[in-house]
Chain A
Amino acid sequence: MFYRRAGIRHTRYQDERQLFPLGFDRGLIIAVIAILLAAPFLFDRLYVSGYLLPWLIWTSAALGLNLLMGWSGQIHLGYGAVMGIGAYGSVHLVRLGVPLEIAMIAGGLLSATIGTMFGGAALRMKGIYLAMATLAMQYVVDFVISHSSVISGGSLATLQVPPVRFLGIPLQGDLPTYYLAFGVCFVITLFMLNVRRTSFGRALAALREKDYAAQILGISTFRYKLLAFWVSSFIGGVVGSLLAVTYLRAISPDQFHIELSIQILAMIIVGGLGSVLGPFFGTALILFAPILLNNLLGFTAGTFGWSLPIDLRAHLPLMAYGALVIGFLLYEPLGLAKIYANFRNYLLVWPFRHAQR
């Protein structure tokens, strides 16, 4: 309905591959970016640092995992551990006086190195077995962090993040932290959008469809499987350090447990495997649906005067949330991104039912 396609013509083949050929899409994206940039001045502090900030961070992490799971089809159940490695690595470096910019990259590299080592398992294993191997990584990393006080930060097992500066700006208060998270998320999104159009992205896609078929096509599965783990773990490490610096401020081992891994996994499944837009939707749903459901329940209970047992009230949102995830797996395995794409297609061919010839 709002999309206009007339008059779009390309004079070069590379123009045909542009990311957003339709004017309406471009306008929409610019509007969303503008709102996000202006958000600290438009919305209440609570919404910015309590909703938008975690949304951006978790989305970045989900994008990183989506590269591995959605693009190259390798299952990973230990992404929380990967983030933990990055977080601990960079926080320790920062505490040693290394600038945050370098510490973040170093955290990413550390995650990438360890992540790729475990990813090596993928060279020999597939599907459920790879899931077990990565799950093992989660527990090994958890164990190592919590049992070596050098890493976890002594008897209290919390590691304070010292005051840091990014590009000379002290990361204090809501504004700088929000914009740093926005910047990281923006860069990762841009990378993910473009990776599809590169030979690397296409090799990953080939790998996802069938690894030995990809091998027959001349794609080194050895190289690209490890590369997929490397890139994805690097993003995970960077986002882990971002999480520690901008959101948590003090890290402890339990923040990077299996729950985080499963949460991020749920985000990309609900959002849409192999989609860039999906993690944005998925993160929003997974992070905020429990809160919303809880509020809704509290509101209805208050309005209709129900007296719910306190434990039921605590568990009902969780049950609804579980039902939501199962529902997605059953009825729209391609996630929220697919629902959006369907809606977009509906408007694209409006008022017809399908594309005209």
Chain B
Amino acid sequence: MTALGKIGEGAHWPVAANGEPATLIAALARNAAEFGDRVAFRERRYGIWQEQNWREVFAEIAAMAAGLEQAGLVAGAAMTVIGDNRPRLYYAMLAANMLRAFPSPVFPDVPLEELIVATRHGAPPVGIAEDQEQVDKLLQLRDATGRVATILYDDERGLDTYDLPGLMSLDALVAKGRERLAREPNLLRRFVDEPQADDISVLLHSSGTTGLPKGIPLRHRNVTGGLLNARASGYFRQHEELYAYLPTAWVGDFVFTLGAGMMMAATINIPERQETVMRDLREVSPTFYLAAPRAWDQMLTRVQVGMKNSTPFKRWLFETTMERAVAYERKRLAGGSLTLTEKLLDAVGNVLVYAPLRDHLGLGRAERAFTGGEALGEDTFLFFRALGIKLKQFYGQTETCALTAAQTEGQVKLHTVGKPMEGSQIRIDDSGEILVRSTSVVDGYYDDPESSAKALVDGWLHTGDAGRIDEDGQLVVLGRVSEVVRTASGERYIPNFIENRLKFSPYIRNVAVIGAGRDQLTAIVCIDFDAVGHWAEERGISYTSYAELSQRPEVQALIGQVVRHVNGTQPDGLRIRRFSNLHKDFDADDGEITRTRKLRRNTIETTYASLIEALYSGATETVFDATIAYENGERGVIRRTLKISEVVA
């Protein structure tokens, strides 16, 4: 407590040239001094929201830093963090920064092999685990590689029988840290003053769609600079209500939740569990909300399923109102303005439908709602905008702190991702690749000069995305440069583009379009179990499992319709002629997609080689031996008969 008083009175912290905090730690110290009584973290625990203000948070982080130093965390070292969003995992990340070390968050559901890969940089001496499950994982890692000598855990349930060296609870660590802070009065000053803007604030990893994930170190100046640019462009306000539910290992969570929380002195709300995310969202009602396109699609599906179960009158009201609202939104986006009658009808719709729905979703206050990472379906995008949620696209990579470009209200166009943010420049090179230069662009990959030299030339980041800049200076993203492929007849196409079109249908959860070097396109489709299941129930089609449902002829016909619909928008040479419904969804554990749900084409092409051959052989069905990985690491084989459907033009 004495140490705290000092921050209150002496109140100074490293600042950048523009007077803003130079590091996230400086921002934390500023918040503790200037907004000490504001709520910093709000976590739902045992059903109620437990709050901590900035002063308490600062004290706890400092104590944690003091403890971590004793536990062996040194400047320049990495610190593995694994678990769901928990305040103390966030605190630990900042505590590492106080010591000039850097956290390296890992997706909580990775198997051991991926964990070994994800911890290979920075020789982490300390690992932070959320609970027993993650402690077990880190213990396995320690047995396999010797990394993370000290394992600290947040939730001690089930861990009191563990009597292993180097295993300690965060509670005990913080207690020791507090004692040390009281003993050494100069420690706190050091923790705030020493971290430099050039220090690494977090080490993230690329998703690794091709090959090993690369380590991407974001430095304090990248994060703070990028966030200040975003604020200058109006994408953040001071004191936002944020919602921390994204995976901690995704750049979106570190920058848009933790980073923004520090820089904007926002309140970070943390749901009770992953399963309660949607419910807790309504209680939080954040002012800033970022979700992946998939999450927006799921939200839309939830509304649609709910309305399908509603009474005929309300269904009719919803359908007519939303149809009209989407039409109005299209008109507004096209630059038109509504007539008086239309405005009136829109206002009635707001009272009857939009406002109650916004309230149900918990987005009634979400002034700044964003989607990014992938393309979002036009229907979904328009639906939420018509509801009055000012949903906008942003565009960014981990390498740019995900802060490259975003749409601005009033200039939203359906096919663009908006203009470059303040302080960031975008250029299209001769091959059509998007290049970015900004304060938020990293200096290079971690310990990988070769890739760094390839990706960063004269300060311009080669994003690997193909794009163009339209007449208003807005960026249009076409797809990955590396993904542009040709069919045997020489037609150029980007599979991802067609796949996204297909995935806009609620019935298709994942799809892989195949056709490079072939005479025609085919697709492997993973149905959406919830949506197709509901569809089947309505029609009295019985099924017992995903595998059975996917092979029902009615479902084949349903997917066939979706494919035919998308084919209608495609040139003749790029229409999907044959497809097969897979007996399971693509799974990150099987390596078919990355943790951020991007397809790994190589894996799919090797795993399903026999299926792909069948797709081109003219057979109507094929027997496929599926290898499955059990949770305990064993492998088994299941024989499946997969039907193949033709799509008539």
Contact = CB atoms under 8 A, between A and B. Distances in A.
Given A1-B352, A357-B279, A352 B284 contact: no
B649 to A, nearest CB: 39
Contacts of B535: none
B351 interface: yes
A351 B353 contact: yes
B51 interface: yes
A10 interface: yes
B309 interface: yes
Interface string B252-271: 00000000000000000000
Interface residues of B, number: 35
A5 B48 CA distance: 16
B427 interface: no
Contact of B309 (A3, A6, A354): A354
B284 A7 contact: yes
B364 A6 contact: yes
A7 B286 CA distance: 8
Contact of A16 (B48, B306, B314, B359): B48
Contacts of A353: 306, 309-311, 314
Contact of B285 (A1, A3, A7, A350): A7
B360 A352 contact: yes
Contact of A11 (B51, B307, B311, B365): B51
A312 B363 CA distance: 60
B362 interface: yes
Interface in A2-31: 3-13, 15-16
Contacts of A13: 47-48
Given A10-B48, A356-B306, A351 B285 contact: no
Given A7-B364, A353-B310, 8 more contacts: A12-B48, A350-B314, A351-B310, A351-B356, A352-B307, A356-B306, A356-B360, A357-B279
Given A1-B351, A11-B48, A350 B356 contact: yes
B283 interface: yes
B364 A4 contact: yes
B326 interface: no
B325 to A, nearest CB: 13
A206 B50 CA distance: 33
Q: Which of B278, B357, B360 has the most CB of A within 10 A?
A: B360
B367 to A, nearest CB: 13
Interface in B176-197: none
B365 A10 contact: no
Q: Which of A4, A6, A9, A10 has the most CB of B within 10 A?
A: A6
B446 interface: no
Interface of A: 1, 3-13, 15-16, 350-354, 356-357
A266 B491 CA distance: 82
A24 to B, nearest CB: 11
B318 interface: yes
Contacts of B365: 6-7
B282 interface: yes
Contact of B302 (A8, A12, A351, A356): A356
A21 to B, nearest CB: 11
Interface in B564-589: none
Contact residues of B: prevailing secondary structure: helix
B49 interface: yes
Contacts of B361: 6
6 contacts: A8-B283, A11-B49, A351-B310, A352-B314, A353-B310, A353-B314
B334 interface: no
Contact of A5 (B302, B309, B359): B359
B314 A5 contact: no
A10 B358 CA distance: 21
B307 A351 contact: yes
A243 B282 CA distance: 48
A327 to B, nearest CB: 25
B314 A351 contact: yes
A35 to B, nearest CB: 23
Contact residues of A: prevailing secondary structure: loop
Top-7 shortest CB links A-B: A7-B285, A6-B285, A9-B283, A353-B310, A352-B306, A6-B364, A351-B314
A255 to B, nearest CB: 49
Contact of B50 (A8, A11, A15, A351): A11
Q: Which of A8, A16, A356 has the most CB of B within 10 A?
A: A356
A116 B314 CA distance: 52
B309 A351 contact: no
B317 interface: yes
Given A13-B48, A356-B302, A6 B282 contact: yes
Q: Which of A5, A7, A11, A354 has the most CB of B within 10 A?
A: A7
Contacts of B363: 6
Interface string B371-398: 0000000000000000000000000000
B77 to A, nearest CB: 37
A222 B283 CA distance: 44
Given A9-B283, A9-B284, A11-B50, A4 B359 contact: yes
A75 B629 CA distance: 66
Nearest to B306: A352
Contacts of A7: 283-285, 362, 364-365
A15 B51 CA distance: 14
Contacts of B47: 13, 16
Contacts of A356: 302, 306, 360
A15 B356 CA distance: 24
Contacts of A357: 278-279
B368 to A, nearest CB: 16
B359 A6 contact: yes
Nearest to B362: A6
A90 to B, nearest CB: 47
Contacts of A12: 48
Interface in B275-315: 278-279, 282-285, 302, 306-307, 309-311, 314
B472 to A, nearest CB: 35
A99 to B, nearest CB: 47
Contact of B356 (A1, A11, A354): A1
Q: Which of A3, A5, A354 has the most CB of B within 10 A?
A: A5
Contacts of B50: 11
A352 B364 contact: no
A12 B50 CA distance: 8
B279 A351 contact: no
A17 B35 CA distance: 31
Nearest to A1: B356
Nearest to A356: B306
A141 B5 CA distance: 73
Q: Which of A351, A356, A357 has the most CB of B within 10 A?
A: A351
Given A353-B311, A356-B360, A10 B282 contact: no
A351 B318 contact: yes
B538 to A, nearest CB: 15
Q: Which of B279, B283, B358, B365 has the most CB of A within 10 A?
A: B283
Nearest to A352: B306
Given A350-B356, A356-B306, A5 B51 contact: no
A351 B309 CA distance: 10
A182 B362 CA distance: 39
Contacts of B357: 351
Nearest to B302: A356
Contacts of A15: 48
Contacts of B285: 6-7
Contacts of B278: 357
Nearest to A7: B285
A7 B363 CA distance: 9
Contacts of B307: 351-352
Nearest to A349: B360
A351 B359 contact: no
Interface in B141-190: none
A316 to B, nearest CB: 36
Contacts of B306: 352-353, 356
B362 A352 contact: no
A135 B285 CA distance: 56
